[in-house]
Amino acid sequence: MTGVLLRDELAGLIKTWSSVPLSLEDDTSLIGSGVLDSLALFNLILWIEQKTGRSIEPTSVNPVAEWDSITRILQYVQDSTVIEQPRAAVPSSAAASSEHQAPQREYRVVRYTPDHKHAVAELQTGLWSKNPGRNLQYLEWKYEHNPYATEGRIYLAFDNDALVGMRGFYGSRWEGGVPARQVPVLVADDLILGEHHRNRGLVTQIMQAAFEDLRDSSARFVLSLSGGTLTVLNSLAMGWKSVGRARPLNRRSVRFVPGRVQRLFRKERFSFARFDRAVGKTEPRPDAMARLIQRIGHDGRWRHVRDRSYFDWRFRNPFREYRFLYAGDAELDGYLVLKSEKRGHTVSIVDLEAINGHVRAGLLKAAVTAGAFRDLGIWTCSADAQMLEQLAALKFRAQDSTPAALGQPFLIRPIDLGPESEWRLDDGRERLEAGNWDIRMLYSMAG
């Protein structure tokens, strides 16, 4: 395809992807300006992949630098082309979105107050649960009962008097360096838009208002630990950067037994029934767990603070069930935490600590043996070589060899985007280097 035809095709698609009226020139800012939102970015990736014959890993691209205009996108395609692909029609997702384009609206973005609580619970039936009452419990647990609740904020988007969008930032506290230094950090989560308000640049509008308001926050950085694909794309376009991937491993167990026994076995796999029979319904021991963390010490990597107040709060999540394995007596030598969604299908190891590799291996083996879980997963982004060997011996495997098997990316962004020095840790280490972080599933709402 000639350059002119390729340019005209791209320009035509951009006009269908964006609901923002614009005079489109070759150097018009598309991403830095927020003209293209997350769905449009997703469509753009599909188009670039089709033209270049290459799969794109979103975190390997700087959208603002490389895709911010028609000129830059075409240059990226030219530099990346492996083989010319047959000309295709508008990607199906883009075509579908263009059919539902609506006139640009004026939205009002405000900071959450308790007066909005019931409206938020109703809106979040599209993300949390279908039960507004349970959503109220979760909202209160996460943003009010959180030991760092005073640091969190929620931003709401209104269309006239109707609540149509939300982005939450819940409080957390992290520590890093030698000696360890604790700092407040906000975690971005709970993004939802009403069905008829998507693909209109509303996510960008909410986030721009949020970062403007957060300038008076005690936190300097915001993390994203459990964002979906579209959320990640939108975040990258707004200056977030990746600090690593989850790197999940799973152990899948399939047993074939006849008739009624098979049905009963399958039913138990949705819960901790077998584990509870083997071990008992274990409870959290926040004091002992926090003392173990102190006893083991800290290697300087950035990690979430795990003290008594954090543990006591963390395991009260109303959407989760937890079970615990312990090594030792009053003073623990190790612990392992298992999580399942209530009435869920899978179980995850969300946190694991031990004084040495022998104790850790025993806890892992006990979890596998006692639960006989159909699907047991763990994030290994911060696991050392010995732990990876222990997991491999227990038949934990990556799902496949595709880039998606690396799991979700963890993103970070300064509240005020500044010079490159803003991306360095206080001791001079690179903040974007995955090896400088110790991230477990427990730190995110995936756990």
- C-alpha span between 414 and 219 (Å, rounded): 9
- Long-range contacts of the stretch 141-144 (C-beta < 8 A, 24+): 141/313, 141/316, 141/317, 141/318, 142/168, 142/170, 142/317, 142/445, 143/168, 143/170
Mean pLDDT, rounded, for 166-176: 96
Mean pLDDT, rounded, for 100-128: 85
Q: How confident is the model at residue 49 (pLDDT cuts 50, 70, 90)?
A: confident
Mean pLDDT, rounded, for 260-276: 61
Q: CA 35, 36, 42 angle in degrees (round to 5)?
A: 175
Give the pLDDT of residue 21: 57
Helices (runs of H) and strands (runs of E) counted in the chain = 15, 13
Mean pLDDT, rounded, for 423-445: 82
Mean pLDDT, rounded, for 258-275: 59
What residues pair up with 349 in beta bridges, in sequence order? Answer: 338, 378
Q: What is the mean pLDDT of the chain?
A: 85
Q: Is the pLDDT of residue 98 over 50?
A: no
pLDDT higher at 353 or 344: 353
pTM for the predicted model, two decimal places: 0.82
Give the pLDDT of residue 96: 38
Cα dist. 391→145, 274, 377, 406 in Å? Answer: 35, 21, 10, 16
Q: Is the pLDDT of residue 87 over 50?
A: no
Give the pLDDT of residue 254: 59
Q: Is the pLDDT of residue 332 over 50?
A: yes
3-state secondary structure of 303: strand
Which of 64-68, 153-157, 233-237, 251-255 is predicted most confidently? 153-157
pLDDT higher at 231 or 193: 193
Dihedral angle over CA of 386, 391, 397, 403, nearest 10 = -40
pLDDT higher at 14 or 393: 393
Those residues whose C-beta lies under 8 Å from the C-beta of residue 250, and which sit 6 or more positions away, are 375, 376, 377, 378, 396, 397, 398, 399
Task: Lowest mean pLDDT of 10-14, 33-37, 177-181, 440-444, name the range.
Answer: 33-37
Closest CA to 14 of 105, 99, 35, 50: 35
Task: Lowest mean pLDDT of 89-93, 132-136, 224-228, 325-329, name the range.
Answer: 89-93
| Residue 49 identity | E
pLDDT higher at 201 or 166: 166
Mean pLDDT, rounded, for 99-115: 75
Give the pLDDT of residue 84: 42
Instruction: Please give the domain boundaries of the chain with CATH numbers for all domains.
Output: 3-99 (1.10.1200), 108-246+408-443 (3.40.630.30), 248-405 (3.40.630.30)
Q: Is the pLDDT of residue 263 over 60?
A: no
DSSP codes, 113-171:
-GGGHHHHHHHGGGTT-S-HHHHHHHHHHHHTSSTTGGG-EEEEEEETTEEEEEEEEEE
Q: How confident is the model at residue 426 (pLDDT cuts 50, 70, 90)?
A: low
Give the pLDDT of residue 19: 61
Which of 55-64, 242-251, 388-397 is predicted most confidently? 388-397
pLDDT higher at 72 or 2: 72
Mean pLDDT, rounded, for 240-249: 91
Give the pLDDT of residue 132: 96
pLDDT higher at 416 or 426: 416
Those residues whose C-beta lies under 8 Å from the C-beta of residue 189, and which sit 6 or more positions away, are 168, 169, 170, 224, 225, 226, 445
Task: Lowest mean pLDDT of 93-107, 180-194, 242-256, name the range.
Answer: 93-107
- C-alpha span between 318 and 339 (Å, rounded): 12
